[in-house]
Each structure stands twice: as structure tokens, then as C-alpha cells.
């Protein structure tokens, strides 16, 4: 099944819900970064969390979320936008720790001390930025803390994935609930308790339940409407043209140096796409420079 994010809204309860299936985009990220199982589990949660936070944005807005702890993964950065486009990377993808009773040791990989930084691009000149200490290093607990502390809205985030011994993610998804002020806070608390009684999101999705069915089960008697079903995709904004611009910005002397070395390779952090500029390409670039 293709990845998507379902947005639901209960006017009666004053609660909005986002439920997403992210298996394909997570695997795309894991494959591009060749992440080992623990790193893959962490990146999968982060990409899913990023997709959920992106689902809260208004049209043409973007958000970047950085998890930076004292564990071996060092940091993960995920970006998403209001169109369901997500990209992200983990600085040290070759992290694989022994499993704990809870499964992959994402907390150990991220580290318990660190910061969560959220930068929103809402079309203003200054980008609003929130920095808070990592609350749980589980990704979802950290995102819940961000929404509650920085945005001051009663919220609940749950993300999860099932990762096999090769790092392949068999299922990934998440839930985000948010009270719409002034109402909803009590209901979000109630739904949070309901969720604790239900299997984790990845188990529900793995059993074949769709986000629509998860919403139905979660909201139970509460009336709600399905507002939108938005496709989600892992896609990077890098391109050869952008890499050319980056090279040009280095200046003539630097490009001449690269030319002597024989080639320039620009490796995108976010998607690992490699843009190779050989001698001919570099000479053309030098020719394009005005001076």
C-alpha cells in the first residue's frame, strides 16, 4: 500500500487527528543511507514524526526537525512540507545496538541527553525556531513535548516501525492527536489512555488495519469526519543545477583546484545522491564565470 497521511477532525470533541502509513518512505530513507537496524528504527521513527509534524503545516510551509543526542547516532535531521514531501538523514547510519525488551534500542542510539530543534519556514523572513531538551529520546515522546511546551497545545504523538535484522522496515506509521483550543484537552487525555489499551500503531498497521480503521477504533463513539488523505513521499530537493550553484559559489580558485584534482563530487546529506563533475564539466563552469 502507498504511504499516506489521513487527517480527521472531531468538532464534537475539539480534537484533530493525523494517522499515517510511512513504510515506503522510511525504506527509501533507510536504503539511501544504508542504515543498520537500530539506526533504521530511529530514522524510521524520525521520518514518520517529521511527516506528522508536516501534516500540521499550512499550505507552502516547511519544517525541519533535528534530534541531537549524546548517543552513537549523533544527530538526525528530518524535513517535511505541507505537500507530504519528506526527507531526512542520520549522521551515523552504521549504528546497530543489542535489542532491549522494547525492541530496537532507539533511546540508547540517540542518547538520553540532547536537544530537539524545530525550525519552521512559514514564509516569514525570520525562521521561528524552538529548542528543547530531549524529553524521552524515543522521537514520539520528544515531539509530544515539543508540541506541548513550544506550541502550548495538548498533544500526543506515537510513531513506530517494525525493522528486521537487515534494517528493512516491514511497516512504519504514526498517530498525532491535538486538542483544538479552547476545547479538546480532556479528550486528548482520554484518547491517550485509549491508545495505551490498544496495540502500538505499527502492530495495528502490520495486522492489516488501514489508518482509516485505526481512526475508527481510536475515536470509537466520538463523531469525526475524514478531512483529507494526503500521499506521503521521500523526496529530496537537491539537483544537479543546485550542486552547480554550490560549486560556483566556491569561486574560481577553488574550482581550478578541483579541476587539478580531476573531478568534484557533491554528495547530498539528505538523500546521498552523488553529483559528479568531471574535468569537462568543471571547465564549462569556469567558462560560465564572469570574471
**Residues of the shown chain interacting with Zn ion in the complex, contacts defined by CB under 5 A:** 236, 238, 268, 270-271, 273
d(Cα 28, Cα 272) in Å, to the nearest integer? 11
| Cβ distance to Zn ion smaller for residue 25 or 259 | 25
Residue whose CB is less far from Zn ion, 241 or 253: 241
CB of 87 to Zn ion, least distance (A): 7
Nearer Cβ to Zn ion (219/270): 270
3 vs 79, which CB is nearer to Zn ion? 79
Least distance from Zn ion to the Cβ atom of residue 234, Å: 10
HEC-encoded secondary structure of the chain: CCCEEEEEEECCCCEEEEEEECHHHHHHHHHHHCCCHHHHHHHHHHHHHHHHHHCCCCCCCEEEEEEEECCCCCEEEEEEECCCEEEEEECCCCCCCCCECCECCHHHHHCCCEEEEEEEECCCCCCCEEEEECCCCCCHHHHHHHHHHCCCCCEEEEEEEEECCCCCEEEEEEEEEEECCCCCHHHHHHHHHHHHHCCCHHHHHHCCCCHHHHHHHHHCCCCCEEEEEEECEECCCCCHHHHHHHHHCCCHHHHHHHHHHCEEEEECCCCCCEEEEEHHHHHHHHHHCCC
The distance of closest approach from Cβ of residue 279 to Zn ion in the complex, given in angstroms and rounded to an integer, is 24
State how far Cα 288 lies from the chain centre.
38
Do the beta carbons of residue 94 and residue 36 sit within 8 Å? Answer: yes
Q: Which residues pair with 77 in a beta bridge?
A: 66, 89
- Closer CB to Zn ion, 201 or 268, in the complex: 268
CB of 169 to Zn ion, least distance (A): 20
Shortest Å distance, C-beta 286 to Zn ion: 25
Q: Which grid cell is 117? A: 530543534
| Smallest gap from residue 225 Cβ to Zn ion (A) | 37
Rounded to a whole number of angstroms, the minimum distance from the CB of residue 33 to Zn ion is 11
Q: Which is nearer to Zn ion, 54 or 88 (CB)?
A: 88
Of residues 146 and 234, the one with the C-beta less far from Zn ion: 234
Amino acid at each position: 500500500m502507498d504511504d499516506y497521511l489521513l487527517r480527521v477532525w472531531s468538532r464534537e470533541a475539539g480534537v484533530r487527528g493525523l494517522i499515517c502509513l510511512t513504510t515506503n518512505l522510511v525504506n527509501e530513507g533507510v536504503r539511501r543511507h544504508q542504515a543498520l537496524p537500530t539506526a533504521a528504527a530511529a530514522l524510521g521513527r524520525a521520518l514518520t514524526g517529521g511527516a506528522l509534524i508536516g501534516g500540521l503545516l499550512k499550505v507552502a510551509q516547511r519544517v525541519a526537525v533535528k534530534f541531537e543526542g549524546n548517543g552513537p547516532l549523533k544527530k538526525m535531521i528530518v524535513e517535511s512540507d505541507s505537500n507530504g514531501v519528506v526527507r531526512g538523514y542520520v549522521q551515523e547510519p552504521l549504528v546497530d545496538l543489542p535489542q532491549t525488551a522494547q525492541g530496537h534500542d532507539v533511546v540508547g542510539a540517540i542518547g538520553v541527553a540532547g536537544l530537539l530543534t524545530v525550525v519552521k519556514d512559514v514564509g516569514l523572513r525570520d525562521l521561528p525556531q524552538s529548542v528543547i531538551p530531549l524529553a524521552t529520546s524515543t522521537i514520539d515522546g520528544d515531539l509530544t513535548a515539543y508540541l506541548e511546551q513550544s506550541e502550548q497545545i495538548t498533544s500526543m504523538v506515537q510513531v513506530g516501525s517494525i525493522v528486521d535484522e537487515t534494517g528493512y522496515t516491514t511497516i512504519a506509521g504514526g498517530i498525532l492527536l491535538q486538542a483544538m483550543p479552547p476545547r479538546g484537552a480532556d479528550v486528548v487525555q482520554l484518547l491517550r489512555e485509549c491508545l495505551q489499551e490498544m496495540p502500538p500503531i505499527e502492530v495495528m498497521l502490520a495486522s492489516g488495519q488501514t489508518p482509516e480503521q485505526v481512526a475508527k477504533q481510536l475515536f470509537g463513539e466520538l463523531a469525526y469526519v475524514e478531512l483529507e488523505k494526503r500521499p506521503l513521499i521521500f523526496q529530496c530537493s537537491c539537483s544537479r543545477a543546485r550542486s552547480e550553484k554550490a560549486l560556483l559559489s566556491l569561486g574560481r580558485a577553488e574550482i581550478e583546484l578541483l579541476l587539478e584534482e580531476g573531478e568534484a563530487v557533491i554528495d547530498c546529506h539528505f538523500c546521498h545522491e552523488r553529483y559528479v563533475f568531471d574535468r569537462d564539466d568543471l571547465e564549462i563552469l569556469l567558462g560560465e564565470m564572469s570574471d
